[in-house]
Each structure stands twice: as structure tokens, then as C-alpha cells.
Amino acid sequence: MEAVLFVAAWLFAVTHVDTFVVLTAFCADADYSLGEVLLGHLVGFSLGLAAAVAGAFVAAGVLQEWTFLLGVVPLALGLWGLVRSRREVGVPETPELSEPVSHVGVVAMAGVGLSGENVAVFVPFFVGLTVSELAAVTALYVVCAGAVFVLAASIVRLVPEARTPDRVDDLLVPVVLIVVGVYVLFAGWLL
């Protein structure tokens, strides 16, 4: 069991570098509260982990070939964020009646989009596990997901003067999401 948990922890670390970068960007964005980022992260992560577990029960080969298309999600969110920030330049701020997508929803959708490569890696690994090993790995991943958020939020809090200016702040999350989306699409397409 120790060997399985070691491999699982290594796989988690390798596949969640992009999640860490995106969470750090969300935590640094003054428009997002830490609670919104945490809730969105947990929802997106949970959906991705559930897809990997379900995929292991369905068929590793079928899912592995198409999960890279989930890279479209962060790419679309990033492009939408850039378009939205460009429209708001020079326009006096007016109260909006409703946001089309909440901040929690944006973070959750980004997490789902980031799960593409994770599902592609986790499904084949999960297929070879017993039910008790899968339960232990799932529990480990939930703890690790919390640790990734705590690390991202801590870095932003430890360097408060590193807060980005408003204009850069408006571009940071969309650009990071676009880069991650393009990476997920191309990495999956090339494999």
C-alpha cells in the first residue's frame, strides 16, 4: 500500500503544477475572495477526480484519447476574461444586475478544464488498484487538493506587496487560463 500511495502522491504533484499556478493567480486577484477560490477549487477538483474514478470503471483507453479536449474550458474562460476586461477599459463602473458566471463557477470550470490531463494520467493508474487502494488514493488526493490551495493562498499572503496593479490583475487570470488551456490541448493532442 505504501508503494501505491507514493506513486499516487508523485502523480498528484506532477499533474497539479498547473493547478497551483492557476490557484495562485486566482488568490492574487482582488476580485476573488479566498472563500470563492477554495469552493470553486474543491468543486472543480471533485468533478475531475470523480471523472477519473468513473473513467477507471468504464474504460481507460476510450477516455484517455479524448480528455485533452477539456483544455478548451480554461482556454475559453481566459479568452472570455480578456474580452470582458477590454470592454471595461475606460468605461465607468456600473452595477451589474447579474454575473453570467459566478467567481466560484469560474474557478470550478477552470478546475474541470485542468482535470483533462489528470484524468488521462489517473484513469490507467486507477484501473490497476483494488477498491481499498482506490479509496486510500482518493482520500490522499482530497488532502493534497487542500494543501495545494493552502500553499497558493499562503504565497499570496506572505508577499502582500506582490499584489498586482489593477490592470495587470485584470489580465493575470485570463492569460494563465489561456496558457494552461493551450498546454492541455496540445499536450493531449501530441500524445
Do residues 118 and 78 touch, judged by C-beta distance below 8 A?
Answer: no
pTM, to two decimals: 0.69
CA distances from 54 to 57, 69, 107, 115 (A): 5, 18, 22, 13
pLDDT (tens, 9 = 90+) of the chain, 191 residues, equals 888 899 899 889 888 888 898 899 899 888 889 999 999 999 999 999 998 888 777 754 555 566 566 667 667 777 877 787 666 555 444 444 345 568 898 899 888 887 876 776 787 778 778 889 999 999 999 999 999 999 999 998 887 655 555 555 566 667 766 776 676 667 666 65
